Structure formats: C-alpha cells, structure tokens
C-alpha cells in the first residue's frame, strides 16, 4: 500500500519522541525531527523520488541512516528501529505526547519519577496532587494537564489542514479515474480552510453511483469500510482519517456542495431565511413546496434567498450573512496578490539552505522580495546570530542585491522578545535592518498581564516592525500563551507597527477572529511563510486560507504592496 511523506514523518517523530523519553543523544533525536520536517515540507512524495532512482540524501536533513530507513518503510511499511523502541517502552506512553503541553522531556519525568504510562495514571496522579511536586511542573501545569485530559476525552482526533490535504489530493485524483465521473470536490471544513479537519466530505457527479462507490472502497489506503451503498460510502483510511463520499446528481450538485460545506451554524441561519420565504433548503436543492427551484450551483442556492454567493471561508455565521444582505462582503485576498514574504530563515540559523537558494525559490513562487530574518543570538538551539554574524549577513545581502537576480532581499532578523520586553540585539545593529521581527520563544507561562506587558514594551521599541506568530501556539501541541490580543492589536494601531499571520500549518497564527479584529482596527497583517527551506513557500497558501477566514482583503495585507510602497511603510514604523 502507498506510504506517504506524512506516514514516514510520523515514524521519525515517534522515534524521536521515544528516544527523548529514554534520554538518548540530543543530536540523534534532532536528526529524526529534522528528517520528519523535511518530509512534511517536501512538495512531492518521497516515494516518487525513490522510484525514479534519485539520491534522497541530497534532501536537507536526510543522511544515509535516515535514507535507509525511508527505503525500509517504503518497502515494508515498518521500521525496525521504531519496533524495538516500542518493545522497550510501555505501549500507551506515546499517547501522553498528544496532550498539549506534554513534550517528551515532561513525559520522561512522569515516566521515570512517577511510573506513569497512560492517561488514566496521569489523571490519577494529577488529581492526587503528585505532579506539581516534580521539577519543572508546578500547580499550574498540573491544572493544565487535567484540563488537557478533559479536552482530549471530549473531542475526537482532528488532522491539521495540510495533513488532511496530503490525503485528500491523491484520493480526489483516484476518484476522478472512476468510470463516468464528471466532477469531484472536497467539501466540509477542509473547503472552509479550517485549521484542523475531523473528516473529509467528498462530492462526486457521475453517471453510475454504484461504480464510483465500488471504486472508492477499493482504494488501497482504506483500512475499514464503515458503510457502503449505491451512492454513498464511509471509510477510515490507514491514517485514521474518516472519509465520506457521496455521488449526487448534477441538478443537485450545488445544493449538496453548499449543504456539506457548512458550517452548521451558517446553514441553519440561511435555512431560517429560506423558511421565512416559504422555501426549504436541503442537500437535494431549494424547494417551494414540492418543486425544486434551485440547486444546480451554489450561486443558485444563495440567489434563491436573495443573497450573493458567500465564499466558503466566511461561512461561520460571524456576520457574513448580514454583510451579504448589505452588499458589504469583502473581496478576499488571493494567493496571487502576495508580492513578497517577510519572514524566512537560512542555514545561518536553523534553516536548511543558503540565501541564494532561498531567494531563487521565492522568485520561483512569483515573489518580488524576500526578507531574510534568521534568529537572534538568544535562541541558541536555532544557532541564532549575534551582532557580528548578523552584520556579516547584511553584507552578503547587499552583495546579492547588487546583482541581477529578479528578486530583492530585505535585511531582517527574528529577534527574541526577552522576559522584560527588551529585544535580544543591540540598537545600533537593529537600526541597520530593513525589518525587525519580534518573537516570543520563551516563558510562555507568564500571567496574562505580564505576557501582555512584555509584548507591548517590545512593540514600543523604536525599530520594532512586526510581531511574529502573535499567539505562540503550535496546533495540537502547545496552546497559545495567555495574552490580551485585543489590546495587542489596538496597540499595534497606535504604535504604527504590524502583525504577522504565520502560514506554517503547525501555527496558522493569527487566529481568524484576530485577523478580523485587526482588519477592523486598521492594522496591516503580513502573511509570511516562516520558511526554513526552499520548499516552505508552498505554505503561503495555508496563510491565504486563514486570512480569508479572517475577512482580509488585499489592502489589509502588508506584503501585497510593491517593494517601493512596502519600504515606505517599513520606514514609517521607525
């Protein structure tokens, strides 16, 4: 059965997690994590590269050892190293890592100090007050662990949007090869660009429903078939992702697409409008009594109740229906509107490639400018740049810009915001940069008042340009730190600086609701890839999806400006 990049990356991540729980060599652990990240960011299946006979050790972070394991997993579906680690450790231990706030170091402590193997033992220890006495934990951490356990019990598994996409795209291509298929589209939260996806809803127009369903359930990644009929089937893939496929008639396609795209709250609100007009909307169409009056397209469905078509990303019942009635729907930003990227890393810090390679990749993505923003000195784990190294990098950027490369590089730095709100590099160095990105990388546990005060002070620095990943979250792994985001956004307007929407699929930070608030305040948002390799510019599309959910238009986005106008805006923050 096909093995995807995500499957191999998950193996490498689990190996790294289990090694860290055991207290293994940090360099060995980091190698597996870097390999997993490379595979997730690779624009094509590594399986294809191997089948073509290409040397995959040329990929950043993939040495001979990891390459051999990739070949092993592709050939057998297993990895002996992981199998050995699983035999050495309790079977349920890795499940603890899925709880927000519990990384391998903390699980190591829980396992070795309290002999905790699973969720039940963890909850019992937390309720008995045993965890708070471990070094590095405390009462607040113990309370957060209990809350995370409750949240985990209340919700099913969800997949990050990018991960769901890696399974959706080949499945859609496969469904299109079924006999008589005319159209295939993914609906649901995936189409609305939600940051996580519970399952996939796929609609198909085809002449023969039964043949499509038979084709679908025969897909070689199907682990189990939950139901199967003549026009609908539900399966679970080997990844654990549930997929529903429905074959619909062309006359009902628009109504079905609308109905299964959701959200539920949006659909209920529109159906209420329809009822007041004597209409009924369901997945088969729009009906007046027993007569179908619309349903072939979504535009028909909306028009039947007197509304213009509403983009899927807005369908959350957060004011889009009222805006549509008033003719005030935003013209949402599109990928082609971006002129540059203001957050990217090179191999000078924790990136994988040189300035020249990153610039060429950005240009290939149609960008006109790119800010090189390697980490500052405090982030030693990322080999952050001190003043001397940063000044040398500035000279390299000047030399690059003196040539004709079809793209302009901006001099920048992702500077740590220290606990007291000061910045991690001296002012004379920061003043020579085009862009200073402030970022919180430590002390996520500060109180709301202290965290907010810390960030506000940093924003008031005379050379501060942009606040990176403002909430600090890692989806499914780390909750946002506690901060008054409304106050941060309001202060950004008063200070005249900008906020980032970090497009990395693990972050998608700002939240969509905060994007909407920033738009209302008139604060410009920069949609940035936070690229660490030449492959990461593909992530900008996820940032665009999040921006559209946040009602952002082209004029609300800083890096839709041409370079000359951008430079003026950057200079105005000084």
What pLDDT does residue 147 have? 82
Cβ proximity of 525 and 489 under 8 Å = no
The fraction of the chain above a pLDDT of 70, given in percent, is: 99
Q: How far is CA 179 from CA 45, 183, 213, 272, 276, in A?
A: 26, 12, 11, 39, 42
* DSSP E strands, 70-166: 159-160
What pLDDT does residue 156 have? 59
pLDDT: is 106 or 214 the higher one?
214
23-41 confidence digits (pLDDT tens): 888 899 999 999 998 898 8
What pLDDT does residue 7 have? 87
The Cα 541–Cα 527 span in angstroms is: 10
What pLDDT does residue 153 have? 61
Collapsing DSSP states into helix, strand and coil, what is residue 182?
strand
Cβ proximity of 557 and 333 under 8 Å = yes
102-137 confidence digits (pLDDT tens): 888 888 889 888 888 888 888 888 888 899 888 888
129-181 confidence digits (pLDDT tens): 899 888 888 888 888 888 878 766 655 578 999 999 999 999 999 999 999 99
The fold adopted by the segment(s) 5-154 is DNA polymerase; domain 1 (1.10.150)
The Cα 29–Cα 101 span in angstroms is: 19
The Cα 482–Cα 489 span in angstroms is: 15
Q: For domain 335-572, give its CATH number from 3.20.20.140, 3.10.100.10, 3.40.1280.10, 3.90.700.10.
A: 3.20.20.140
Cβ proximity of 223 and 236 under 8 Å = yes
What pLDDT does residue 563 have? 98
**φ, ψ dihedrals at 406, nearest 5°:** 75, 10
The Cα 498–Cα 467 span in angstroms is: 7
**Can 5-154 and 335-572 be said to share one CATH topology?**
no
Helix (H), strand (E) at residue 6: helix 5-22
Please name which of 64, 123, 69 lies closest in space to residue 95, comparing C-alpha atoms: 123
Q: Which CATH superfamily is domain 159-248 in?
A: Beta Polymerase, domain 2 (3.30.460.10)
Q: Residue ranges of the domains in the chain?
A: 5-154, 159-248, 253-325, 335-572
pTM of the predicted structure, to 2 decimals? 0.81
**Burial class of 88 by CB neighbour count within 10 A (0 to 12, 13 to 18, 19+):** exposed
306-318 confidence digits (pLDDT tens): 999 999 999 999 9
Task: Collect contacts of 107-112 with beta carbons under 8 A, ≥24 apart.
Answer: 107/17, 107/21, 108/20, 108/21, 108/22, 108/23, 109/134, 109/135, 109/136, 109/137, 110/134, 111/21
197 strand-pairing partners = 159
Q: For domain 253-325, give its CATH number from 3.30.420.40, 3.30.210.10, 2.40.50.100, 3.30.300.20.
A: 3.30.210.10
220-230 confidence digits (pLDDT tens): 999 999 999 99
The Cα 384–Cα 537 span in angstroms is: 22
Which tokens go with 16?
């790294």
């Amino acid at each position: 059965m096909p093995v995807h990049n995500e499957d191999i990356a998950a193996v490498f991540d689990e190996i790294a997690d289990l090694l860290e729980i055991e207290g293994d060599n940090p360099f060995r652990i980091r190698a597996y994590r870097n390999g997993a990240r490379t595979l997730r960011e690779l624009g094509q299946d590594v399986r294809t590269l191997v089948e073509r006979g290409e040397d995959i050790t040329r990929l950043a972070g993939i040495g001979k050892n990891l390459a051999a394991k990739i070949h092993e997993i592709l050939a057998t579906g297993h990895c002996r190293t992981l199998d050995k680690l699983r035999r050495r450790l309790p079977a349920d231990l890795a499940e603890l890592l899925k709880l927000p706030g519990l990384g391998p170091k903390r699980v190591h402590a829980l396992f070795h100090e309290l002999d905790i193997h699973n969720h039940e033992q963890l909850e019992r220890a937390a309720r008995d007050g045993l965890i708070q006495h471990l070094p590095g934990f405390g009462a607040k951490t113990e309370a957060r662990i209990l809350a995370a356990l409750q949240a985990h019990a209340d919700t099913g598994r969800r997949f990050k949007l990018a991960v769901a996409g890696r399974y959706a795209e080949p499945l859609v291509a496969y469904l299109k090869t079924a006999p008589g298929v005319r159209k295939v589209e993914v609906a649901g939260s995936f189409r609305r660009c939600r940051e996580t996806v519970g399952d996939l809803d796929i609609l198909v127009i085809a002449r023969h429903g039964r043949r499509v369903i038979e084709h679908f359930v025969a897909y070689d990644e199907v682990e189990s078939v939950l139901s199967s009929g003549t026009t609908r089937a539900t399966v679970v893939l080997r990844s654990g992702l549930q997929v529903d496929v429905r074959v619909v008639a062309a006359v009902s396609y628009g109504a079905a697409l609308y109905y299964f795209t959701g959200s539920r709250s949006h659909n209920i609100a529109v159906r209420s409008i329809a009822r007041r007009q004597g209409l009924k909307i369901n997945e088969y169409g729009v009906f007046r009594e027993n007569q179908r009056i619309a349903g072939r397209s979504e535009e028909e469905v909306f028009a039947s109740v007197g509304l213009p078509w509403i983009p899927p990303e807005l369908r959350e019942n957060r004011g889009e229906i009222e805006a549509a009635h008033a003719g005030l729907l935003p013209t949402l930003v599109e990928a082609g509107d971006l002129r540059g990227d203001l957050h990217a890393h090179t191999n000078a810090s924790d990136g994988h490639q040189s300035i020249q390679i990153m610039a060429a990749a950005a240009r290939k993505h149609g960008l006109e400018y790119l800010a090189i923003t390697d980490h500052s000195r405090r982030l030693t784990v990322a080999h952050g740049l001190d003043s001397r190294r940063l000044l040398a990098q500035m000279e390299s950027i000047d030399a690059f810009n003196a040539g004709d490369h079809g793209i302009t590089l901006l001099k920048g730095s992702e500077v740590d915001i220290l606990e007291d709100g000061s910045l991690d590099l001296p002012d004379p160095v920061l003043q020579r940069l085009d862009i200073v990105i402030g970022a919180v990388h430590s002390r996520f546990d500060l109180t709301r008042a202290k965290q907010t005060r810390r960030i506000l002070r940093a924003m008031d620095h005379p050379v501060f340009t942009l606040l990176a990943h403002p909430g600090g979250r890692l989806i499914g792994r780390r909750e946002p730190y506690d901060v008054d985001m409304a106050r941060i956004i309001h202060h950004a307007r008063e200070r005249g600086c900008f906020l980032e929407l970090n497009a990395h699929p693990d972050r998608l930070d700002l939240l969509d609701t905060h994007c909407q608030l920033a738009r209302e305040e008139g604060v410009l948002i920069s949609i940035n890839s936070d690229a660490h390799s030449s492959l990461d510019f593909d992530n900008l599309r996820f940032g665009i999806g999040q921006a559209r959910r946040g009602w952002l238009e082209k004029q609300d986005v800083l890096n839709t400006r041409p370079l000359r106008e951008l430079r003026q805006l950057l200079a105005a923050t000084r």
